[in-house]
Chain A
Amino acid sequence: MSTETLVPDPVPAAPASEVMTYREALRLALREEMERDERVFLMGEEVGVFEGSYKVSAGLLAQFGPERVRDTPISEEGFVGAGVGAAMLGERPVVEIMTINFLLVAIDQVVNHAAKVGAMFGGEVRCPLVIRTPNGAGNQLTAQHSQSLEGWFAHVPGLKVVAPATPADAKGLLKSAIRDDDPVVVVENLPIYKEKGEVPLDPDHVVPIGQAAVARPGRDVTLVAHSFATVRALRVAERLAAERGIEAEVVDLRSLRPLDVETVAASVSRTNRVVCVEEGWPTYGVSAELAARIQRACFDDLDAPVERVGMAEVPLPYAKNLELAAMPNEERIAATVLSTLELA
């Protein structure tokens, strides 16, 4: 008998990261946090037996059981509010809302209850609630199902709002949100669920709330975006580099409230030109907030007005050609960048 069999193979070093989809990264964050902290539980429509409308929670019912992966009736106001109450007693509820459109029927519990718990009672009680919900448009889902309303929530003092654009940020920000002592709306995104990226596997790795990232460095112009608009901005930046030799810097906000004005301003003061891109309607939107902050922070550095590109200001129509025209598509972003650079 050979002695070789007695010698164990060298244990390969555990990989620090793995390529996975955005949806898998969210699932991993949920699993790790539920394993780490008994108080964390998930509830929402179709999260258990159906394994999630977008399959984020697949496998979690089997692992954690129906007490911690709780299917709800279609009662958003009720179960979001139940999340607020449970959080006030120290639970760590993660409430899934099928899409951000349906969060509107629960907006009273979010805006007038969850957001008020901390300040209105002078800091006596906290509300460590997480609401996960995707925004997004683009599959002819039509007016009532194609909205990016995160700006509404970012408007509200007392809430925190994050909107990851990559699998790594999805995992890291969801984990931060679950560990946070305040109500956090985690805005996921329908088109990004299937996108892949490298994700750190260390269960202790988190992405801090309130910090933007430079997703692509560049010197000529800054594109500021979040969520799916970041994906679009990166595509436009690559195209402009290849076709026109323009080096656009892309700043991915990642958090909308708190907003990392510092990283945005640092970029704009280097490039002197900026286009804010969002999937929502620009009027009174995220890009409106950015424009106000940038003009103040970078007044002396700006070589052109702050430009913005967003959803055409219509309820999204069904017909494919109308929908395409309404979206902040890459042609419109590229054209705006060129005109900012006076190259149009």
Chain B
Amino acid sequence: MSRESAVPVGAPAGDDGDNALVAAIRAGERGRFQELVARHQRAVYRTALAILRSPEDAEDVTQETFLRALEHLDQFRGEARFSTWLTQICVNTSRMALRKRHPELWTSLDEPVTTDDGALPREAVEWREDPEQAYSRQEQEELLLNALAGLHPSYREVVVLRDIRQLSTEETAQALGLTVANVKTRLLRARLQLRDRLAARLHAAAAARDLASSAPASPKDDRPC
């Protein structure tokens, strides 16, 4: 499985020139900020959309993330990769957007609800079809976004950074301010819950498809069962 980076924490080498660009912008070439944005806009939008589900919210958060990054660019110390720093801002901005939408869900960000049902999958439903083959890109996206939306936000963030953004465990830990062990524990539960929810949704989608594709009642079928 390819990962975005295997660079250990604290080694800003392999930043693909981000740090040089940041230095140039700080030195006065403000216009070059757009170059920096162009490098990271896809990753930021992807993160925001997967956490928030709504494309409108994701767009707002993407803009907000870059505006904040611009405002606080002089606080970027280069200890972490620029992309990790940006991810950190994006996750925080997404959290704030989520809190605004659903304050009731946010009693605590760090404590996943205690009644978590996802440690052990209840049933092993074999997928009748491979979603990657049976569904269009848009349908896959919808399935995944809906399944993600059912996870507790703290699980969602971990799985979004690790499996959707494909950051390393270390980078995920750094962006979320967690320990690596903590990330691994949450990741296990998050992945199993996501699998569970996706299985349920694939099941429902297959049933809906049956419902749609079943022959409409014709006079010939109008015999008593």
A and B bind: no
Which residues of A are at the interface with B, using a C-beta cutoff of 8 A? none
The interface of chain B, by Cβ under 8 A from chain A, is: none
